[in-house]
Amino acid sequence: MEEIKHDGLASVIKYEGDADTLVWKHPIEDFNMGSQLIVHESQEAIFFRDGQALDRFKAGRYTLETQQLPVFEQIYKLPTDTEGTFHSEVYFFNMANQMAVKWGTPDKVTFIDPLTEAPLQIGTRGLLNFRIKDARRILLKLVGTTGGLSRRDLMEDGDSHIRDYFRSIIQVEVSTKLASAIALEQIDILQFDLQRVRLSNAMKAVLQPRFDDYGIEITEFLVQGIVLPEKGELGYDSLQTIIDLRKKNLRKASIATETEIMLAQTEAEKTREAARRGLVAEKGETQVLEAQLEGRRKVAESLGETEAERIRIQLELDRKLQMAQIEAQEMQLKGYNQKDVFATEVQKAYAEGIGNMGSAASGGTGGSGVVGDMLGLGVGMAAAKAIVPQIGEMLQGMNPTGSPDAEAAPVAAEPAKQAEAPVVDEMAEFEKKIKKLRLMKENGLLSEEAFEQAKNKLLAEIL
């Protein structure tokens, strides 16, 4: 366990014992300055002298010098040379968690059931885990001058006044606080498995302050079960009554649950049926809406075609009007007017008539043919009267007898007689044009204003 020099002094101080040992005292109490102290993981070491716990060491390797023992040096003057020795007790503490220590109540306690208010005799049992939390405190309060402390001495079966003391603490605290903890936490003893953790935590909170005084921490406290009254014990009959009532309540709850499920299924079926009907109605409304939209689409297409035709006609009229305006502007730029155009047409017709007079002149009918041709071109009555004198002069110059006077009167009278015939033709042509203008107006090709303007223009040509 340790190395010892020939003079009986320890040069290496350490402990490598079993896990059940909680506190171990080093057998040698005199040490050389410069000795090695080795403290393993989950261990602590304390130097102890004259009933006082002095310097404490956690896991590590230490060379014992005055700077490593400040408390010891303050109380006891240590030798300064490395060969000097000093006297002290050294305790090693196992700081690891100690698992699964059994506990239980030796006697049952009386518990008043809140449902029936009947007294019941119940007990409990379980396990606990603990560890040394404060090595200095457990050394001073439990170990003292003894050689050490084991797990068996503290908690488990054995002949030890320390074990008896701590087992008594657990039994008393659990027995006195169990009934109140069950009532406070509203724990159902017949359904304890569902509420085990709550009762365990409640009992741990009750016990921990008693162990704090000894430097011990209860890391976990488990209530494994509740011992119910057996036949012949107080509360057995009441327990059976409670169990019967619980079974009836469970049956009622089961029936209620089944009823709720059936109602929920019925409501779900109603909801599905309403949804189905809603879909059918919505589908019918959708079909009606689609038919309405289709009708509107067709009307829109028809209106679109009519509107497109109207726009086309309007554009065509605008185009013709623009062309007419352009031609008018071109003629104005060239110095022409309506009279010039009319005179040009008359002269053209006259020239063509002269070219065809030949033999017609000898028959005395050439002059009337020229006039008829000109009137057939649509020459107005006023324009025809204006050119009759000129035509007479030209006819006199063409008389074959060479006597201007002999034929002058007949020639001059001839246009006057034939001028009456084109009047009928001119009126017929005027009426024909008026009919065309009315037809264009009725078909929307001419506005009322354009119609009146064209009609006035035709009247001006005749008058």
How many Cβ atoms sit within 10 Å of the Cβ of residue 72?
19
Residue pair 371/418 in contact by the 8 Å Cβ criterion: yes
* Residue 312 and residue 407 share a domain: no
402: which residues sit within 8 A by CB, 6+ positions away? none
What tens digit of pLDDT does each residue of 301-321 get? 766 677 777 777 777 777 777
Looking up residue 185, the CATH number of its domain turns out to be 3.30.479.30
> In this structure, is residue 123 part of a structural domain?
yes
> In this structure, is residue 4 part of a structural domain?
no
CA 236 – CA 395 distance, rounded (Å): 162
CA 260 – CA 204 distance, rounded (Å): 41
What tens digit of pLDDT does each residue of 279-305 get? 777 777 777 777 777 777 777 676 667
What average pLDDT score do residues 101-107 get? 87
Ranges 323-332, 342-351, 408-417, most confident: 323-332
Does residue 340 register a pLDDT over 80?
A: no
Q: Residue 57's pLDDT band (boundaries 50, 70, 90)?
A: very high
User: End of a domain among 283, 315, 336?
Assistant: 336
Which residue range forms the structural domain that includes residue 49?
A: 10-94
Count of structural domains, the chain: 4
Burial class (CB in 10 A: 0-12, 13-18, 19+), 257: exposed
3-state SS assignment for residue 127? strand
Give backbone dihedrals phi and psi of 373, rounded to 5 degrees, phi first: -60, -40
Give how far Cα 163 sits from Cα of 22, 151, 152, 157, 166, Å: 13, 9, 8, 8, 5
Q: Return the higher-pLDDT residue of 203 and 332.
A: 203
121 sits in which H/E element = strand 119-132
* Residue 229 and residue 102 share a domain: yes
Does residue 349 register a pLDDT over 60?
A: no
Q: Could you tell me if residue 159 is left (phi over 0), alpha (psi between -120 and 50 degrees) or otherwise beta?
A: beta
What average pLDDT score do residues 343-352 get? 51
Please report the pLDDT score of residue 304 as a whole number: 67
Range with the poorest average pLDDT among 60-74, 182-196, 344-358, 425-439: 344-358
16: which residues sit within 8 A by CB, 6+ positions away? 1, 40
* Residue 455 and residue 342 share a domain: yes
Please report the pLDDT score of residue 204 as a whole number: 93
60 sits in which H/E element = strand 60-63
* Residue 136 and residue 71 share a domain: no
> In this structure, is residue 113 part of a structural domain?
yes
* Residue 110 and residue 212 share a domain: yes
* Residue 155 and residue 108 share a domain: yes
Does residue 418 register a pLDDT over 60?
A: no
81: which residues sit within 8 A by CB, 6+ positions away? 33
